[in-house]
Structure 1
């Protein structure tokens, strides 16, 4: 379809916004890492890193849904609202694909959720809720993979559509380097109700990884990425080694075609039985799920 004079190509505009989101996420990740106390670890491998998707890769279920449960328990919104969110997730799982409309709706609702609240409030609640509801949802096998990268002297980053403040809490609790997440605009420590770019989803994750690599001097050919979702094929494709963890049908098919390693921890295998992954030998884990948090905006 031809464009009228002055009209923008929607595809190019989406790509531009994804680039902005990726760059903003990388900036936020570097800034947050700089505020963390120094770690004692193995001698650093400065040009290699690992990138992990969060939902169903590192954590069982959607991290933002667990956070929503915690907010409902603290009367931030009602259990009825939480049920609506859960039903949306069921419909998504049955439907099998996110659409532009569902992502747009999620974005608007997520913005409504944070608008007017402070960054400090979100972080304080996130820390409480992780300890109460998320700590026991971590896949032991994936955590073991992340630890192997750390012990090899590599940095390990989470990459997720979850707000970067919450993603950073998860990374910190797991002893990881940091997190790339969705960046919500704030002024004087208060969320404005706008995003910087868009949600960190799909191609935006790949742009975030590229942006972080440029800032940190990483050689992406020596980096590894882990995910469960076919939505993350762009991110998995920018690194030298891609690993499908607990993959959905689409990603499993792509992984088989491209010769990517597949790890499935849903069978009950213990982390102790995993062994050293081949990625270390060769190279030496919502987004749209934020929808349910937006039904009501109450004081913390």
Structure 2
């Protein structure tokens, strides 16, 4: 991957996670996993999980309501059992879904000296070990509020990394490092029309395994289209 010599700004490669670097939705799959393992009431939970996923795809999801729902098993199990379940989830569901083409894309940006950042609307509990498995240090995910004991309450802490909130959180992340949008060059990969705000903000927008609406938008706006996972 080559860079133009006349632009010496720090270069950032920003990635959505679900259906972008992974050919699945980790939030949805975590819910299905907890239902299969009997960690929640399986039938009703799985149905509600599917309903929330459809709302996300349609851009109508109430994220606060969903996070309360999605963290049910974690809150009920407590830290030790939750972390054990998450290790099993990683081994059974996520690791097999980390495919060579995604790792190659990450490696190209890493080898070019770019700073890599995952910006995802999935919560920090689910995505922390996924980012680690992908070798990406910087993760902006939905942060979860903790109670006095240090465990999750089921509520969101701060601005969620969803829709326009991804731009807000990235702006905060840049400011913490003494940067702003003009002082860096950003490339953003995403599959979802929910991410239009950050795609519009980035210097380079790459619609990756895009949903139908985002594919249409990319064609109209002249954005690159990358079908990393043809079956995604």
Q: In which range does the TM-score fall when normalised by the shorter chain?
A: 0.7 to 0.9
Structure 2, unmatched stretches of 5+, are 1-7
- Counterpart of 2:113 in structure 1 is 153
Q: Distance in 2 between matches of 1:51 and 1:156?
A: 6
Bigger relative CO (Cα 8 Å, ≥ 6 apart): 1
The offset of 1:236, in angstroms, is 1.5
Aligned residue among 12, 16, 19 for 1:49:
12
Q: Deviations over 1:203-258 (max 9, x none)?
A: 11111111112223456441211100011011112221111101112211222232
Structure 1, unmatched stretches of 5+, are 1-44, 269-300
CA contact (8 A) 1:49 1:218 kept: no
Q: Distance in 2 between matches of 1:82 and 1:194?
A: 19
Number of equivalences:
221
Which structure: larger Rg?
1
Query: Is the counterpart of residue 141 in structure 1 residue 101 in structure 2?
Result: yes
- Counterpart of 2:135 in structure 1 is 175
Aligned residue among 34, 37, 43 for 1:74:
37
Structural RMSD (CA): 2.7
- Counterpart of 2:21 in structure 1 is 58
**TM-score normalised by length of structure 2:** 0.81
Q: Distance in 2 between matches of 1:106 and 1:249?
A: 24
- Counterpart of 1:264 in structure 2 is 227
Q: Distance in 1 between matches of 2:192 and 2:109?
A: 21
Q: Distance in 2 between matches of 1:225 and 1:92?
A: 23
The offset of 1:148, in angstroms, is 0.9
Regions of 4+ moved over 3 Å: 89-93, 102-105, 110-124, 217-221
CA shift in 2, pair 1:82/1:169, >3 Å: same
- Counterpart of 1:210 in structure 2 is 171
Between structures 1 and 2, the one with greater strand share = 2
CA shift in 2, pair 1:152/1:91, >3 Å: closer
